[in-house]
Structure 1
Amino acid sequence: MTLNIAGRTIETNYQGFLFNMADWSEDYASEIAERDNLKLYNDHWELIYYFRESHIANMAAPTMHQMVRDLGRKNVRFHEQKAYEQHIYSLFNNDPVHELCKLAGLPMPQPDD
């Protein structure tokens, strides 16, 4: 699929995942979110940037468990990891890791074994 975002032509697969991770921008994330009927707020952006930074550091997207463990400890609003996990699911109803990888411009995550 070809997208025109902020004057740039960007190629994605049929699910909206980038072919070239270097094409990522906040404009891309906003456009994909809008297409997926998702309004991005600060909590969404925090998770998107966490995924990008984690991928750069580890060459892989974090799992749900890693995300909850890493960010749940830092989040002053949630004192329990389970509550933070529920919050993430309230932001991304279906599959948070899948959606975050797409919004962060990362490769589509592989299914868990």
Structure 2
Amino acid sequence: MRATVRVLLASVLTTLGLTIAVATPALASAPAPFCESGASQFYCDATSTGTTTWTVTWYSGSVGTFTTAGPTLFAGCPSSNIGLPVRVNYSYFDGSVTQYSDTGRFTCRSGPWQ
């Protein structure tokens, strides 16, 4: 039923010469953070200025949000995530617009820093 409604709506809009604007996610405007891990901890460095909001997505899919006063984040890896991949990105306000980073990746390591 929903598919039929969408097809009919698209057909009517096409007949009227109208188009539908589709929202797209914001493009990253800052580079991905540099991250490394060791001793069950991790360190990430951004190119942000001022307050930085970090989003860390663990292998399980759970998400942690951290706010730092500057461009670095230092935190511990949950024991359930040791040896597993992590994704991280950040955002900050540059005075006129919120800047969003590409996604960085690292593995939570219990051994030497890498």
Q: Which protein shows a greater Rg? A: 2
TM-score (norm 2): 0.25
TM-score (norm 1): 0.25
Higher helix proportion, which one? 1
